Amino acid sequence: MNNSVTNTARLFGAGLRALLVLTVVCGVLYPLAVTGIAQALFHHKANGSEIRSEGKVVGSELIGQRYDLPLKKGQETPQPDLKWFQPRPSNGLGTNTVNTQYKLLVSGATNLAADNPELLKSVKEAQTAVIKDNSVNGYRVKPSDIPADAVTSSGSGLDPDISPQYAELQVHRIAAKNHLSVGQVRKLVEDHTDGRVAGFMGEPRVNVLQLNLALRELTEKG
Amino acid sequence: MSPFLAAVLQLLALIAALALAYRPLGDYMARVYSSPRHLRVEKWIYKTIGARPDTEMRWPAYLRGVLAFSAAGVLFLYLLQRLQGSLPGSLGFASIDPDQAFNTAASFVANTNWQSYAGEQAMGHVVQTGGLAVQNFVSAAVGMAVAVALVRGFARSRTGELGNFWADLVRGTVRILLPISVIGAIVLVACGAIQNFAGIHEVGQFLGGHQQWQGGAYASQEVIKELGTNGGGLANANSAHPFENPNGFTNLFEIFLILLIPFALTRTFGRMVGNLKQGYAILATMATIWLGFVLLMWATEFTHHGPALQAAGGAMEGKETRFGVGASSIFAVTTTLTSTGAVDSFHSSFTGLGGGITLLGMQLGEIAPGGVGSGLYGMLIMAIIAVFIAGLMVGRTPEYLGKKIGTRQIKLAACYILITPALVLCFAAAAMALPTPPHSVLNPGAHGFSEVLYAYTSGANNNGSAFAGLSADTPWFNTTIGLAMLLGRFLPMVFVLALAGSLAEQKPTPETAGTLRTEKPLFSGLLVGTILIITGLTYFPALALGPLAEGLAS
């Protein structure tokens, strides 16, 4: 009995020493080496691909943000600022519930099922809003024109992109609100459409932050 | 180019990349586990452990090594989380509650990476890199070690000796997982994944105001979480988060990393048993199931049945624009047919049948190609069952790779295939029957049951993905899923190692005209059929209540 307890303790000791030494290798040396290389070679990317405009950081190329009007008194959800290109809905984005000394973005999806009436309702409401917001000056959005990404929330809630179809759908509205020609805005969208990586990986997309930055430049110049 | 054509091209590129890596990596791994030489750094590690790496172990000793090392891992990781609040370098994050700390420790040591916490708001740098990411390496290395021990059981005769656990553990980590991870991490950073130890970033926005995110060693953990089929990301959204998976290329690269070792291990197996064709037969079985599942997933996701998806005009709920439906489907199938559980899109919002495919993938036992190591040993157990069934048909004692499959072997294999379904179905039934656990469910109807079934399937099979609507951070779910993960990982290992020991003791049986040719396509077909029938018989009633009911209604 005593003997087997000693043996077990000895074996557990070996396991613990193995864990500690491998922690040094995989948990200290490895991440530090990778961080060193990453910071030396890809400083900008390793720190979040931040975008600057007029000397100020305006966000990350990779992280989506909202383009809303300031909250008015009594309002609970902000209205979209229709002057700017709008991103996808992000109903799954959370607020931090622990360590609330910070206001961290907590990525996430809605996880609503395809047959959940709540999801159906939110899709229909989003479609109504897209039609209402984007039908301007004789241009009428047909329900069949609305791509799926415009009315669904992404997996991360931080999707920085919209589909080229959703960007195209917003062109008339952006032109009207910013007193630009449809042609000018359409060219802007075309210039900021990224195709699939190497022609076949992923899907074509338009980065909303970069598109809006270019739009601001265009309106300020004009 | 249509999204479907792009999806097909991505699949072909993935297969081509895996085919290129298959031979060199498989042969390299066979050399790693057979070489008599030790690297200098390995000698230093053995000295610290106090292990003699050239001492051969019989199966009980090998198993004791596995259990001692894993027990130390659970304890260390538990304490690290409990003490987070007092540790420097933790961004001032609070300590984790006992039930969640137990769940997370069990989860990462069991190669599951089920996460009942949201990474970016709960875990600081020290726990992420010094605790969770370390288990991403070593739990994978343990899985590979057990698989190699089983392969040695087939390859060796009249000895009972299975190699040295410490040597297999250290070599798998140092010679296989680390070098690939370093290269992979740098590739990910070059594409935009972040890698820093900064504090909380406060970043300005286009229309004013700020965003706050946590910095972190994303790339270095992302690569090993895929390569080691772990799945536990830094961020709550896992590989859907742009910092973990910035574009279409990294997405495909991450799928490649998940499949790399599990497929290549079949070559290692063929090499070590001295018959490459036996490895190809196992590979063919795995590849057939994986490919079939990808095609089924495309069929259901591109047609996007379900009222909300029909109204939206596409299955984009829970999916990222940059990946789209095609690539997200490949990722979902790959992650659930291996023990990974990383997600680039959220399975709960897939079509009813699509969600069912992810569930069924895990229920097959994650063997096509399965987790690193666990996929190979799981598939070899199924091969033994298939050989046994074939033996019953013709009425002769079954053999596999020159070893007789007798009563003891079949008992062990049967225990192996029964333990996981028992855990899944008993825990899921208990959760549904008790008054409080069902309150955690988000969605109404059949999908709500699927959330619970998915949780225990994912836990007991060591996957770690979720129908994430379930609020799993409750004492009940943290405790029961924690137990399911530990039992679902280590009880099967007991049976595998006992089996390996009994095989290694046997003398080889010479091949005769009546021996079943297990390297032929006929056997691969038999194996696919065995897997599907056994899983179907086990899980059909539960699947009918959940995803089938949802999928067929829409």
Of the CA atoms within 13 Å of residue B303, those in its CB half-sphere come to: 12
pLDDT of residue B512: 87
pLDDT of residue A75: 86
Whether the CB of A56 is below 8 Å from some CB of chain B: the reply is yes
Are B318 and A111 an interchain contact pair (Cβ–Cβ within 8 Å)? yes
CB A154 within 8 A of CB B318: yes
Of A37, A97, A154, the CB nearest to B321: A154
Are B215 and A47 an interchain contact pair (Cβ–Cβ within 8 Å)? yes
Measured between beta carbons, which residues in chain B are less than 8 angstroms from residue A35? Answer: 195-197, 217, 220
Q: Which residues neighbour B362 within 8 Å (Cβ) at sequence distance 6 or greater?
A: B336, B337, B457, B458, B461, B463, B465
CB B234 within 8 A of CB B119: yes
Are B206 and A59 an interchain contact pair (Cβ–Cβ within 8 Å)? yes
- Longest Cα separation, chain B: 79
**In Å, how far are A113, B7, B110, B217 from B12, measured between CA atoms?**
31, 9, 32, 31
Nearest one of A179, A90, A92, A105 to B203, comparing CA atoms: A105
Are A106 and B467 an interchain contact pair (Cβ–Cβ within 8 Å)? no
Q: Average pLDDT in the A94-122 region?
A: 95
DSSP for B90-159, please give it: STTPPPPPHHHHHHHHHHHHTT----SS-HHHH--HHHIIIIIHHHHHHHHHHHHHHHHHHHHHHH--S-
Structure tokens at B190: 């070059």
ipTM: 0.97
SS (H, E, C) B475-500: HHHHHHHHHHHHHHHHHHHHHHHHHH
User: Is omega for the bond preceding A87 within 30 degrees of 0, making it cis?
Assistant: no
For residue A2, pLDDT over 80 is answered with no
Q: Where are the domains of chain A?
A: 1-47, 59-71+78-221
Each residue's pLDDT tens digit, B394-446: 888 899 999 999 999 999 999 999 999 999 999 999 999 999 999 999 999 99
% of chain B surpassing 90 pLDDT = 97
Mutate to test the interface with B, among A4, A37, A42 (most CBs of B within 10 A): A42
For residue B394, the tally of other CB atoms under 10 A from its CB is 9
Q: Which residues neighbour B323 within 8 Å (Cβ) at sequence distance 6 or greater?
A: A202, A203, B248, B251, B331, B344, B345
Whether the CB of B183 is below 8 Å from some CB of chain A: the reply is no
pLDDT along chain B (554 residues), means of 10: 97 98 98 97 96 96 98 98 95 96 98 96 96 98 98 96 98 98 98 95 93 95 98 96 98 98 98 98 98 98 97 98 98 97 98 97 97 98 97 90 96 97 98 96 96 98 96 97 98 98 95 90 97 96 96 90
Owner of token pair 């990722």: B331
Residue of chain A whose alpha carbon sits nearest to that of B14: A201
Find residues 124-183 of chain A whose CB sits inside 8 Å of chain B. 124, 127, 144, 146-149, 151-163
**Rounded Cα gap, residues A149 and B327, in angstroms:** 15
The whole-angstrom distance between B111's CA and the closest CA on chain A is 15
Whether the CB of B346 is below 8 Å from some CB of chain A: the reply is yes
Measured between beta carbons, which residues in chain B are less than 8 angstroms from residue A156? Answer: 235, 237, 240-242, 320
**In Å, how far are A78, A151, B61, B346, B553 from A118, measured between CA atoms?**
20, 13, 55, 17, 17
Give chain A's mean pLDDT.
95
For residue A108, pLDDT over 90 is answered with yes
Each residue's pLDDT tens digit, A160-202: 999 999 999 999 999 999 999 999 999 999 999 999 999 999 9
Please name the amino acid found at residue B36: P
- Longest Cα separation, chain A: 90
Structure tokens at B519: 């390297």
Helix or strand or coil: residue B61? helix
Measured between beta carbons, which residues in chain A are less than 8 angstroms from residue B92? Answer: 99, 101
Residue B62 within any structural domain of the chain: no
The whole-angstrom distance between A170's CA and the closest CA on chain B is 17
Are B252 and A201 an interchain contact pair (Cβ–Cβ within 8 Å)? yes
Q: Which residues neighbour B356 within 8 Å (Cβ) at sequence distance 6 or greater?
A: B450, B543, B546, B547, B548, B550, B551
CB B125 within 8 A of CB A28: no
The whole-angstrom distance between A191's CA and the closest CA on chain B is 17
Whether the CB of A81 is below 8 Å from some CB of chain B: the reply is yes
**Rounded Cα gap, residues B140 and B79, in angstroms:** 21
> A125-154 burial, b for 16+ CB within 10 Å, e for fewer?
ebbebbbebbeeeeeebeeebbbbbbbbbb
Helix or strand or coil: residue B353? helix
The whole-angstrom distance between A208's CA and the closest CA on chain B is 11
What sign does the dihedral A42-A47-A50-A56 (CA atoms) show? negative
Are B319 and A33 an interchain contact pair (Cβ–Cβ within 8 Å)? no
Of B41, B118, B468, the CB nearest to A106: B118
In chain B, how many domains are there?
Answer: 1
Residue B319 within any structural domain of the chain: no
Helix or strand or coil: residue B209? coil
Helix or strand or coil: residue A55? coil
Nearest one of A74, A41, A81 to B219, comparing CA atoms: A41
Each residue's pLDDT tens digit, B157-170: 999 999 999 999 99
**Phi, psi (rounded to 5 degrees) for B58:** -80, 170
Mutate to test the interface with B, among A39, A152, A166, A169 (most CBs of B within 10 A): A152
Q: Which residues neighbour B372 within 8 Å (Cβ) at sequence distance 6 or greater?
A: B140, B143, B144, B227, B228, B229, B261, B262, B265, B339
pLDDT of residue A72: 87
Residue B471 within any structural domain of the chain: yes
pLDDT of residue A1: 54
Residue B160 within any structural domain of the chain: no
DSSP for B411-424, please give it: HHHHHHHHHHHHHH
The whole-angstrom distance between B508's CA and the closest CA on chain A is 34
Please name the amino acid found at residue B338: T
CB B183 within 8 A of CB A30: no
**In Å, how far are B325, B352, B539 from B553, measured between CA atoms?**
22, 9, 20
Are B237 and A158 an interchain contact pair (Cβ–Cβ within 8 Å)? yes
For residue A54, pLDDT over 60 is answered with yes
For residue A3, name the pLDDT band (cuts at 50, 70, 90).
confident
Residue B517 within any structural domain of the chain: yes
Are A202 and B327 an interchain contact pair (Cβ–Cβ within 8 Å)? yes
CB A50 within 8 A of CB A60: yes
Nearest one of B206, B216, B200 to A57, comparing CA atoms: B206
For residue A222, name the pLDDT band (cuts at 50, 70, 90).
low
% of chain A surpassing 70 pLDDT = 99
Residue of chain A whose alpha carbon sits nearest to that of B251: A202
- Please give the radius of gyration of chain B, using alpha carbons only, rounded to the nearest integer: 22
CB B352 within 8 A of CB B346: no
Residue B136 within any structural domain of the chain: no
Domain that holds residue B490: 370-553
